[in-house]
Amino acid sequence: MNDFHAPLIDWAAVSPVLIVLGAGVVGVLVEAFVPARLRRTVQVALALVALAGAVVAVGLLWSSVHQSARLSVGDSFDLTPFGLAIQGIVAALAFLSVLVMADRSGGQDAFAPTAAAVPGSRYEEEARRAGLEQTEVFPLMLFSTGGMLLFTATDDLIVLFIALEVLSLPLYVLCATARRRRLLSQEAAFKYFLLGAFASALTIFGIALLYGFAGSVHLPVITDALAGRGSTPLQGLHVLAITGIVLVSAGLLFKVGAAPFHTWTPDVYTGAPTPITGFMAVCTKAAAVGALVRVLFYLGQGFDAPTRHEVQVLLWAVAIATMAIGTIVGAVQTDIKRLLAYSSIAHAGFIIVALVGFSEAGAKAVLFYLAAYGLATLGAFAVVSLVRERLTTGEGGEKDSVILGEATHLAQWAGIGRKAPWLTAAFALFMLSMAGIPLTAGFLAKFGAFSAAVDAGAWPLALLGVVASAISVFFYVRLIVLMVLTPAPDAGVEGAAAAEHAAADVAPGGVATATQQVTRAVVTVMTGWSPATVVVTVCAIGVVLLGVVPASVLDLAAGAAKFVP
């Protein structure tokens, strides 16, 4: 009879994950027991406190993890400095994402009152009139964040797959909760679910092949088998191992949004609620990149020269295709969220460029890139959430006003620099950072990624990255020119409408007539302090500081990049 030996658990090492997942469970109980009038306030406060606690826990763990190089819990949880840094980035960006989710500029949040209702149905209209609120989005977001924190802190492929599903399943639901464009939102969620399930199947099949090759799902054991140390069930069948690595990498690249696994990104980014889009764009990408680095760097220790070459060729092909698709297709987009989606794809290619050498310099570049990209992208989506369509009705169309959803067509962004100068300046800063203009965080991030590739001997790939980055400047600067130098389309409409109504109000004999009621949509910017504007301010300050005085963050990234496989 076998005796059960309880595993020794370092509770401090798993504290960031436990805090977030525990708060998610409490959030479910809040939905069941807290009165409806207090539920939203409690959920927002709970999510913010939990994510702030996770950031604090990461800070408290930093010295111990950095000194010992890892904190392990059996074979399932292995926290390294690199994994801890990714956890800190994810938790901090998730905290800011909650603020965008909590924003109610215009009197409404971005989420449908009843996400399960048939769009346009009587039930949905009654729920809207009753003022129902979808507060379940906050515990769902916490569960997804908890999966992301676990995703980068395990060297067991089964636990990695479980973390992948924990972070993905809530996102499938959250993508379908948009208040406006309900059919588009549900279509985006359905596409994400189907393609995500396919990617998960590839991942688990790759894990099965690696298990068949090495007799274990533990990354160090698989690494030893690749290096020829010890006996394996299928010794010498490196084709099986390479196929498994490719399939697992494909599942992770799907979450990164890299080509050819990028096809879900534009549709899902467009259809999902804008706060959820921003959350996915920064937090999911950071967690997926962290997991990809962990898997490739671990297994890379066991690669022989031919195997390393084959994996590097794969990364080269993915990086080139991703940069090309993101920049070329992004240049012809007419929707701001789709444009940012292709920008996200291009940045995924730039990140992969840094990984081709499997080097410490590449890991350092990735950490700084994720921080710089996360601040600029989350700030950009926060600005998008504040640019709205306003439906006006009355004399001259100015008596009554109803705030609708986001104005996402690029033509609607013309002239908003005159409506909200400081918000436009912040958005321009985010665009310049994504373009890699000097004195912004994006410049140093791209410089670090391309330098790591050059140090690894992949200078042609770095050169292609520079060319793709130069092409991407076109659509970033085009948007800035549109906002600042192009007159707003509704300005001419308002002037023409005023003249028309002035003529209609006075009859040929000089007698006033009844004013005609006119309904039209114009673009408005939600100014004034709100949670979303706080996020825009914080992200703008972060982009400037990382671009001007990056030394402290670069030192932290250098310390965290001491990845110990």
Q: Are 398 and 392 in contact (CB under 8 A)?
A: yes
| Residue 509 located in a structural domain | no
Q: Taking residues 420-424, what's their average pLDDT? A: 92
Supply the mean pLDDT for the chain.
87
Task: Give me the pLDDT at residue 365, please.
Answer: 94
Write out pLDDT tens, residues 326-350.
Answer: 999 999 999 999 999 999 999 999 9
- For residue 146 the two structure tokens come to 């908890």
Per-residue model confidence (pLDDT) at position 73: 75
pLDDT of res. 440? 93
Residue 160 pLDDT: 94
- Tell whether the model's pLDDT for residue 114 goes beyond 90: no
- Whether 222 is in a domain gets the answer yes
Tell me: pLDDT of 514 over 50: no
- HEC readout, 152-219: CCCCEHHHHHHHHHHHHHHHHHHCCCECCCHHHHHHHHHHHHHHHHHHHHHHHHHHHHHHHHHCCCEH
Whole-structure pTM value: 0.91
CA 27 to CA 131: how far, in whole Å?
Answer: 21
36, pLDDT greater than 90: no
Residue 336's pLDDT is what? 94
Is residue 505 scored above 50 in pLDDT?
no
pLDDT tens, position by position, 54-98: 999 999 999 888 777 677 777 788 888 999 999 999 999 999 999
Q: How many CA atoms lie within 13 A of 254 on its CB side?
A: 22
Residue 438 CB neighbours (<10 A)? 10
pLDDT of residue 236: 65
Q: Is 518 helix (H, G, I), strand (E, B) or coil?
A: strand
pLDDT tens profile 364-407: 999 999 999 999 999 999 999 999 887 776 554 444 566 677 88
Asked if 286 and 374 count as a contact pair (C-beta separation under 8 A), the reply is yes
Sorting pLDDT into bands at 50, 70 and 90, what band is 352? Answer: very high
Residue with tokens 């705030």: 403
Count of CB atoms situated within 10 Å of the CB of 510: 6
Judged by average pLDDT, the poorest of 197-206, 469-478, 521-530 is: 521-530
Angle, nearest 10°, between helix axes 238-256 and 182-214?
160
Report yes or no on 511 lying in a domain: no
Q: Which residue has the tokens 């009753």?
A: 130
Using CA atoms, how far apart are residues 147 and 269, in angstroms rounded to an integer?
Answer: 20
Please indicate, yes or no, if residue 4 is contained in any of the structural domains: no
| Domain hosting residue 264, numbered range | 11-503+518-561
Q: What is the mean pLDDT of residues 137-155?
A: 94
Does some domain include residue 358?
yes
In the prediction, which pLDDT does 371 show?
95
Q: What pLDDT, on a 0 to 100 scale, did the predictor assign at position 519?
A: 61
Q: What's residue 495's pLDDT? A: 42
Question: What pLDDT does 304 receive?
Answer: 82
Which positions ≥6 away from 441 have C-beta within 8 Å?
371, 372, 375, 376, 433, 542, 543, 544, 545, 546, 547, 550
Residue 508 pLDDT: 44
SS3 of residue 109 by DSSP: coil
Range in 265-269, 309-313, 508-512 the model is least confident about:
508-512
| Domain assignment present for 6 | no
Residue 215 has pLDDT above 90, yes or no: no
Contact 155, 220 (CB under 8 A): yes
| 227: confidence class by pLDDT, cuts 50, 70, 90 | confident
In a domain, 1, yes or no: no
Strand partners, 335: 409
pLDDT of res. 357: 86
How much of the chain, in percent, has pLDDT values that exceed 90? 60
- Residues ≥6 apart with Cβ < 8 Å to 269: 277, 280, 281, 337, 338, 340, 341, 344
Count of structural domains, the chain: 1
> Is 2 inside any structural domain?
no
